[in-house]
Amino acid sequence: MRALLTLAISAGLAACASSVDDANQCGWVSGYQDPPEAERLYRAVVTHVDGTPVISRPNYQLAPGRYEFSLVELIDAPDLKVSPEAHQKKTLTIEVAAGMRYHFAARYKDDRRYFGNNPDFWEPVIWQSEAAECAIAN
């Protein structure tokens, strides 16, 4: 009986420690790296996270979960011939996992020529993901 009680207490303490660790877990969403232009990827800046305006930063430390990032592209391609009105923000949904870093970028879609007010010339993408240490400090 005593061994059973000790086992139950140990399991309960392990569950408590696990939930404390879970509360400190996080991941990163980043835009500080220059994506490879050879792959038609360009930098982008964040304007909103989950509909809330933000000042763009190189890194966003977030608890695991689903987030919507509004991005504006910084495409500097000489063959891009759209009007300023076509440069519109777009949304990228990211499922952030604990211990991961996601690098976002703007992909210039060069499958055809885009002119005028056509905003379809780009799409927000995650171009790289990698394991990264992350812990939210209390």
121: containing domain: 25-131
Give the pTM: 0.80
Total domains in the chain come to 1
Q: Is residue 15 part of a domain?
A: no
In a domain, 61, yes or no: yes
pLDDT per residue over 106-124, tens digit each?
999 988 888 788 899 999 9
Lowest mean pLDDT among 8-17, 27-36, 82-91: 8-17
Strands (E), 1-131: 27-30, 41-42, 44-49, 52-53, 59-62, 65-73, 81-82, 90-96, 100-108, 115-116, 122-131
Residue 17 lies in a domain: no
Residue 71 within a domain? yes
CA 94 to chain centre: 5
pLDDT at 2 over 50: no
Q: How far apart are CA 123 and CA 72, in angstroms?
A: 10
- The C-alpha atoms of residue 85 and residue 87 are separated, in whole angstroms, by 5
pLDDT digits (tens, 9 = 90+) for 49-104: 999 999 999 999 999 999 999 999 999 888 888 998 998 999 999 999 999 999 99
**The tokens of 47 are what?**
């304007």
Q: Please check whether residue 113 lies inside any domain of the structure.
A: yes
